[in-house]
Chains A and B, each alone.
Chain A
Amino acid sequence: MMEHIRTPKVENVRLIDRTAPRKAMVGTLYLSATHTIFVENNPETRRETWVLHSMVASVERPPTTPSGSHLVVHTKNFQVVQLLIPQERDAMDVQASLARLSRPEKYSELYCLSINPNANKEEREESWSFLDLQADYRRMGVPNNLWVSTPANSEYRVCDTYPSELFVPKSATPPVIVGSSKFRSRGRLPVLTYFHQDTLAAICRCSQPLSGFSARSQEDEQMLEAIMKSNPGSDYIYVVDTRPKLNAMANRAAGKGYENEDHYANIKLQFIGIENIHVMRNSQQKISDVGELKTPSMGDFLWGLESSGWLKHIKAVLDAGVFIAKAVAEEGISVVVHCSDGWDRTAQACSVASVLLEPYYRTMKGLMLLIERDWVSFGHKFSHRYNHLEGDPKEVSPVIDQFLECVWQLSEQFPCAFEFNERFLVQLHRHVYSCQYGNFLGNSQKERRDMGLRERTHSLWPQLWKDRAQYANPLYRADHTQTQGMLRPNTTPYCFKMWKGMYNRMEKSSPPRQTPTDLLTAVREETQQLEEELTNHQEVAPGGTAQPGTKQEDCNPDKSGSN
């Protein structure tokens, strides 16, 4: 990547504070192979600002002013860095370099693949065994006498965007599996993603059927029948098509579409109306513009919020999750979820439902596993959606952003229900884009395997786990009522807020904003120290003699007196 750096260093650059444009830090700008780095001149503070190249969304250069050229760098996580560079030529060079550096053309140019994979070989190998997806299925009670593992997709034979290991109804024979797969867009046949042990109802996912106006497949019909039979006592299943009905109908002309209720016995079809990736892309652009408005009036802001449509879309995704969760937990009815290809809206709806249904997915490790299952393993196209490589801009869309935001909106309604805080979600979002770890590279399990990512990169999960103290929600208690059972959120429009922590991080305040999370975290840390000190003290019986079995050194008065 070094060959793309036209100017490695520019002096006398100003980093402009966008909230107070007259305040600026003067310093030196460096371009490295991986980062843009600004180092303040002031010898006392020497503040550094680092921006990873892969996080750069755009670099604008407004018309040159007498004091120099401005560069406005927008990042993919909605931060804005504004620089003033004295010489126009330097500014143009920096802009051109960044434009290239932030748009890698090959995977090998990405940060996570630029490091020597054998430097920390053991650590690397260990990092990939941190999460065990199969263990999570076992935690759900799968396989069992209703759901079994099938070898049908080993070597990705029936579907190259699915994981190799799939769970299907016990009664689904190999011909049914293969036949159903042939009748589904890109071979994405209905398979299990979540099993609810209390009601024995399941969530299955797939892509749209290739039904057109009249086509049908006996095997696919048998597959859905088998899914119903794997839920003893139920006499129908829901088929949730997460698209607006009109879009689903339009797909019939292309030989795709949705299940005909006359052909599939015992299904209830439900449309949810989540818009497609193009609508979402435009909508997010608009909400991030709203977050960046410099001095909007209340009217500008509320109008912008409304016309972006963003909260409406978030509500649609959450509503889809609520529908599925209620069907599974309250009615005990299994649900088959699909959209068009079954890797965007389907991933959103299934993972939101899992968060609502299962307390485990509200813990840090649980959310990691959920993302690993519903997003990574089931072929959500991370590299296309999050623009990891220079590619088709029409493929880009904030699909997982919306899932993470749904979790955030839920955490606002249920402050004690989640083990993690907002920072955890913001950090997950960042790494979906950053390419610092190999987890989200490529578009399917097969692609990742072919690239040998486990041999060449590190996994993000153990790193997040190591830093878990800073991602902990101090209000979370494993035995709290909010951590038990299903969450039933209120999805009335007034319950949704703009996610300031994502779209409006610029704001500053004096004195620095106090957050209850930080304060409570500090209090809990102190409490823990006090508890330890107390145990130490109590090991000494009144009178100063040690109780049997404790060592005298343990109650060293220096230690306890120094706090």
Chain B
Amino acid sequence: MEFAELIKTPRVDGVVLRRPFLPTVEGTLCLTGHHLILSSRQDNTEELWLLHANIDAIEKRFVGSLGTIIVKCKDLRVIQLDIPGMEECLNIASSIEVLSTLDSVSLMYPLFYRPMFQVIEDGWKSFLPEDAFKDLESMTEEWRLSDVNKDYSVCSSYPPLVAVPKDVDDDTLRKAAAFRHGGRFPVLSYYHKKNGMVMMRSGQPLTGTNGRRCKEDEKLINATLRAGKRGYIIDTRTVSVAQQAKARGGGFESEANYPQWRRIHKAIERSSILQESLIKLVEACNDQSHSMDRWLSKLEASNWQTHVKEILTSACLAAQCIDREGASVLVHGTEGTDSTLQVTSLAQIILDPACRTIQGFQALVEREWLQAGHPFQQRCSQSAYSNSKPRCEAPVFLLFLDCVWQILRQFPCSFQFSQHFLVLLFEHTYASQFGTFMGNSASERSKLNLSQKTVSLWSWVNRPQEVERLSNPLYEANCLVIWPSVAPQSLLLWEGVFLRWKRSSRCLDEAYDEMVHIIQYNKELQNKVNNLRRQLAQLETEEAGEKED
């Protein structure tokens, strides 16, 4: 299929673009296979350069022969295009509709994108499981890297290499995999250096209604406990949801078969509910005519902040079990690809200072989300505006980012990155020129050969100028465990995403610049003073030397 067939009108003059916070411009609108471009042809700049993949929904309106297209983007921005000529407008609208909903992976933009920057370090090779394991090996000898899943046959959503207890052989892993949802047998997620406790994750056990058990599964997870120690299983579902799962062949670990483990149920909602919540929240934020009462009641009714609180609470619990109780933890929900990953990754943010650096956070996203098989493509194909019926869409990763932002806001000096990094990740999970978030698992990405055919987002992010842009000027490295408050009073609406296109951030940006300026000026002075001190010390030694002579 050629893109040209889908573009009936590739170019219209005299189009007026209206967008948040920026002046209205008139220019020429061009449609290409992947972009919607508007240029006023002044200063050779494009005022609009929008990926079709970023378009979530459009609306058409006509007044006489003037057509208007409202473009609602996945990053929650809404722009308006006034197009002279009804036919042109209809053509543009129908092309956008088709181009923004192309399902075929082979037509996706990252496969066509050629970087305009020099790749210093190939992001596809920056965070290999082998390298991560080397760090682990330096701390403990109790774990090994298994290639039981090298051809993705044991678990289609796992990477080829996973860390498992040294004493457990591949055969046991295969049998345990058959007992876990999606073949997701318990694997290592995090090793807590301070006390040697670990966090593991998996899919739910397939106990079914008649209470099946699996000796190999029991053996596998018991192998992670120290002698005489008990562990915690954190099931991200409520007891009743977990009970209901039995009827569909799923279930949870019974006390009888797992006597060394204590099970705790939390209440993180399933993904379909999260999507609905996002839609309601965005709708509430976009209606500026609300009274205070109505705004607060719609905010409450969206339940978004409740999800944030629930996820953070579960992550704090996991972190507490490890750091304070000195116990190992297994986390799972149903599939083990959504709420499970929210909990394991946030617990690491709390426990491990390395995850709060720019590189470390990328490694965490790579390890706990991409390699761990979070189905990004399914979850992020629609955002809050789409009129299509949701299939598997859910803002699971966005909620994770929101939770990170909450912790960042509470500990503004403990993160090497600023919220810009989190916003950037949000944008790129929904629409991107990079291949990083394409596909639903390591296996899919490998079949598409993305590491050869596309550029990694990390290649872009890890260039010095981008690292500088994403850096937090307040950062001061510390090696502390940070315990966020999960009290509702402490959790705020993430303005940087949800009100980004609604209220101007100019004054807050100015404050940020001021902060950067204060810190940079301080550093400059420090350098100057240090230089002078050195010179002075040198002069003194010379002087002393002369006297001795």
Contact = CB atoms under 8 A, between A and B. Distances in A.
B485 A507 contact: yes
Nearest to B513: A416
B514 A561 contact: no
Contacts of A297: 306, 309, 488
Nearest to A536: B532
B151 interface: no
B514 A477 contact: yes
Max chain A C-beta neighbours (<10 A), residue from B303, B480, B488, B490? B488
A523 B519 contact: yes
Contacts of B46: none
Contacts of B493: 494
A312 B293 contact: yes
A477 B526 CA distance: 22
Interface in B463-511: 474, 478, 480, 482-485, 487-493, 499, 502-504, 507-508, 510-511
Interface in A479-535: 480-482, 490, 492-498, 500, 504, 507, 509-511, 513-516, 519-520, 523-524, 526-527, 530-531, 533-534
A379 interface: no
Contact of B410 (A303, A509, A531, A561): A509
* Among B482, B504, B525: residue with most chain A CB under 10 A: B525
Interface stretch (B54-62, B97-105, B534-542): B534-542
A480 B303 CA distance: 39
A537 B290 contact: no
Contacts of A490: 503-504
A393 interface: no
B285 A494 contact: yes
| Among A297, A527, A560, residue most surrounded by chain B Cβ atoms (within 10 Å) | A527
Given A302-B488, A494-B499, A511-B480, A530 B526 contact: yes
Contact of A560 (B484, B528, B536): B536
B300 A303 contact: yes
A297 to B, nearest CB: 7
A482 B510 contact: yes
B424 interface: no
Nearest to A520: B518
A524 B525 CA distance: 11
Interface string B81-99: 0000000000000000000
A537 B507 contact: no
B296 interface: yes
A514 B293 contact: no
A527 B525 contact: yes
A9 to B, nearest CB: 36
A530 B305 contact: no
B446 interface: no
Contacts of B414: 514
Given A301-B489, A416-B510, A493-B296, A509 B483 contact: yes
B514 A475 contact: yes
Given A507-B490, A514-B413, A534-B525, A302 B300 contact: yes
B521 interface: yes
Interface in B517-549: 518-519, 521-522, 525-526, 528-529, 532-533, 535-537, 539-540, 543
B292 interface: yes
B258 interface: no
Interface in B393-417: 410-414
A417 to B, nearest CB: 8
A108 to B, nearest CB: 40
Chain A's interface size range is 35 or more
B291 interface: yes
A305 B292 CA distance: 10
A415 interface: yes
Interface in B223-276: none
B310 to A, nearest CB: 8
Given A297-B306, A498-B489, A511-B480, A492 B288 contact: yes
A490 to B, nearest CB: 5
| Range, interface on chain B | 35 or more
B515 A493 contact: no
Given A306-B300, A480-B510, A520-B518, A507 B487 contact: yes
A414 B309 contact: no
Given A537-B529, A537-B536, A481 B488 contact: no
A520 to B, nearest CB: 6
A217 B491 CA distance: 55
A415 B522 CA distance: 20
Nearest to A503: B489
Given A494-B285, A511-B482, A534 B532 contact: yes
Contacts of A416: 507, 510-511, 514
Contacts of A533: 529
B297 interface: yes
B299 interface: yes
Contact of B296 (A306, A482, A526): A306
A497 B494 CA distance: 12
Given A494-B493, A507-B487, A561-B533, A530 B412 contact: no
Interface in A534-561: 534, 537-538, 540, 542-544, 557, 560-561
B304 to A, nearest CB: 9
Given A306-B297, A477-B514, A415 B507 contact: yes
B295 interface: yes
B109 to A, nearest CB: 33
Given A300-B488, A306-B293, A414 B507 contact: yes
Interface string A283-300: 000000011000111111
B529 A530 contact: yes
B518 A493 contact: no
Nearest to A542: B535
Contact of A299 (B285, B306, B308, B484): B306
B485 A509 contact: yes
A91 interface: no
Contacts of A196: none
B527 to A, nearest CB: 10
B540 A557 contact: yes
A540 B543 CA distance: 15
Nearest to A310: B292
Contacts of A543: 539
A497 B492 contact: yes
A153 interface: no
Interface in B282-334: 285, 288, 290-297, 299-300, 303, 305-306, 308-309
A537 B525 CA distance: 12
Contacts of A507: 485, 487, 489-490
Nearest to A415: B511
Contacts of A260: none
Nearest to B495: A494
Interface in A408-443: 413-417
Nearest to B531: A537
Given A298-B491, A306-B296, A534-B528, A475 B485 contact: no
Nearest to A538: B532
B497 to A, nearest CB: 13
A474 B474 CA distance: 13
A519 B533 CA distance: 25
Interface string A174-191: 000000000000000000
Contacts of A306: 292-293, 296-297, 300
27 contacts: A297-B309, A298-B305, A298-B491, A301-B488, A302-B296, A302-B488, A309-B292, A315-B292, A415-B511, A492-B288, A493-B290, A495-B503, A500-B490, A504-B489, A507-B490, A509-B484, A509-B485, A510-B482, A514-B414, A516-B413, A519-B412, A520-B519, A523-B518, A530-B525, A530-B529, A537-B529, A540-B536
Complex A-B, nearest 3 residue pairs according to Cβ-Cβ distance, in ascending order: A301-B488, A415-B511, A493-B295
Given A296-B487, A477-B514, A530-B529, 19 more contacts: A295-B487, A298-B308, A301-B489, A306-B296, A306-B297, A415-B507, A416-B511, A475-B511, A494-B299, A494-B493, A494-B499, A498-B489, A507-B487, A519-B413, A523-B522, A526-B522, A543-B539, A557-B540, A561-B533
